[in-house]
Amino acid sequence: MDKVLSKSRNIVGDKMKIVFLGTPNFSVPVLEMLIKHHEVLLVVTQPDKIVGRKKILTPSPVKVCALNHGIEVFQPLKLRKNYQKILDLNPDMLITSAYGQMLPKGLIEPITSINVHGSLLPKYRGGAPIQYAIFNGDEKTGISIMYMAYKMDSGDVIEQEEIIIEDSDNYESLTKKMSIVGASLLQKVLNDISAGKIKRFPQDETKVTFAYNISYEDEAIDFKMTTKDLVNKIRGLDPEPGAHFEHLGTKIKVYKAKKSDIIIENKTPGEILQTKKHLIIKTLDGAVELLNIQVPGKKKMDVKSFLNGQSIFKIGEIIKDGELHE
């Protein structure tokens, strides 16, 4: 019998006492669902971070949500060294959703722990499954509700639901769709558990792939990529943190781009092809048109506005290895 049903407190048909662990926008609908249907004893989230040029200390979206509902927030720097507070609450269950830290054995062994993961496991274990689904041009992704295990995203799966990735989706729009599905699917799972219905199936270890957290280097774009891969990478990083490339010591951030259909002959990847009304750059197999960018000290802007009076890009120059070469 599953641990959640073997506790002295009979939770069948009752509201569960839950500690929730999550951090980004993806986690907020899940938390809101739990607040509505169960008793959230505590919310655990990552420490506030310094954000933007003005270096403003900013709470996570989950923290903001919790405080708005009057729920206590716990922000340990390293959960594995500081989790007695959670044990002392004696919750029926831990629910995690993009928390950002591994849960220690000292939590997941004594307390039933369930995770809301943004992929169809065993595909894309790790912290960036939504981004990698877009990077790789996948036609679909999904949500997995799974039991936690002391190995990254390796626990038995309880339920899954597929989600179509539209060509128009970026990281933000796909995240919103997936978070809503995640909250709904988790509600179904918890209702089943409360009704005494327990099911689980192991992941196929031969089909495991990984989507590790995105590093600064991962955000860089290379015009030697195919046009499709380049556009997908930009989509997967829009609106945050944004893709980037550098030349002449200047970092250019790119938020939107599309395939260009101009006819190209004898051009080099990275070569600037147009700078009047359109900013078009040669790729490995075609050309890409940059649509929305940001330069240091400026806000995001559409490229047409940026090109009025700019002197950074010149036709015939080549963006190569982060530098402009004539």
| Spatial distance between the Cα atoms of 134 and 174, rounded to a whole number of angstroms | 9
pLDDT at 321: 57
**Architecture of the domain made up of 3-207:** 3-Layer(aba) Sandwich (3.40)
pLDDT at 8: 35
Nearest to 253, CA basis, from 299, 284, 212: 299
| Spatial distance between the Cα atoms of 194 and 15, rounded to a whole number of angstroms | 8
pLDDT at 237: 98
pLDDT at 320: 72
Tens of each residue's pLDDT in the chain, 326 residues = 344 443 434 454 578 999 999 999 999 999 999 999 999 999 999 999 998 777 899 999 999 999 999 999 999 999 999 999 999 999 999 999 999 999 999 999 999 999 999 999 999 999 999 999 999 999 999 999 999 998 999 999 999 999 999 999 999 999 999 999 999 999 999 999 988 888 899 999 999 999 999 999 999 999 999 999 999 999 999 999 999 998 777 899 999 999 999 988 889 999 999 999 999 999 999 999 999 999 988 889 999 999 988 888 999 999 975 444 44
Determine contact, residues 290/304, Cβ cutoff 8 Å.
no
**Domain covering 219-325 in this structure, CATH number:** 3.10.25.10
For the chain, the domains span 3-207, 219-325
| Spatial distance between the Cα atoms of 57 and 61, rounded to a whole number of angstroms | 13
Q: Which two tokens stand for residue 62?
A: 């989950």
Determine contact, residues 238/255, Cβ cutoff 8 Å.
yes
| Spatial distance between the Cα atoms of 74 and 23, rounded to a whole number of angstroms | 11
List C-alpha distances in Å: 123 to 132, 144, 165, 207, 310: 10, 10, 15, 7, 44
